Structures are given as C-alpha cells and as structure tokens.
C-alpha cells in the first residue's frame, strides 16, 4: 500500500499536478473519449446517423493534440 501511495505522489509530482487537477484533467479526457466511442458505436449500428463535426476523427485528433501540448507545457513549468 505504501508503494502505491508513493507511486501516486511521484506521478502527480512528475506531471506538476495536484490530485484535483489530475482528477479533472484525466476525467475530462476519459469522459470525452467514452462519449466519442458511444457516438461511433451508434454510427456503426445505424450508419444513417451522422457523426457531428466536432466528434469526427479530425476533431478528436485536434483535441488529443491540444491535451498533449498542455501536458508537455505543464511538465516544463
């Protein structure tokens, strides 16, 4: 248990985050990707359902790049 706690603190420190900032950032990414997955699964089942522009692959790639750039800037603070 002690090792788990130490690794947790190390991860937060390496990423220059607090527990809450990590919770919100990682949670936002996870929920966004889950919603995108649901949209694509619905589109797979019902091809007539169009995928909204912001959820198409190009939009998802842009979001991921933006989040990745944020993590790089945050680590370099």
> What does each of the 77 residues of the chain score in pLDDT, given as a tens digit?
777 778 888 999 999 999 999 999 999 999 999 999 999 999 999 999 999 999 999 999 999 999 999 999 988 87
Counted domains in the chain: 1
Distance (Å, rounded) from C-alpha 12 to C-alpha 19? 7
* Chain Cα centroid distance, residue 9: 20
Query: Model's pTM, two decimal places?
Result: 0.82
**pLDDT the model gives residue 3:** 75
Give the C-alpha separation, 71 to 35, whole Å.
22
Instruction: Specify the DSSP class assigned to residue 46.
Output: -
By residue range, what is the domain housing residue 71?
2-75
Say what the pLDDT of residue 4 is.
Answer: 76
3-class DSSP state for residue 5? helix
């Amino acid at each position: 248990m002690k090792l788990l706690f130490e690794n947790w603190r190390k991860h937060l420190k390496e990423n220059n985050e607090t527990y809450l900032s990590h919770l919100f950032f990682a949670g936002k990414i996870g929920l966004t990707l889950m919603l995108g997955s649901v949209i694509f699964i619905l589109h797979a089942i019902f091809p007539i359902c169009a995928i909204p522009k912001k959820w198409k692959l190009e939009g998802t790639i842009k979001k991921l790049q933006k989040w990745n750039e944020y993590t790089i800037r945050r680590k370099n603070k």
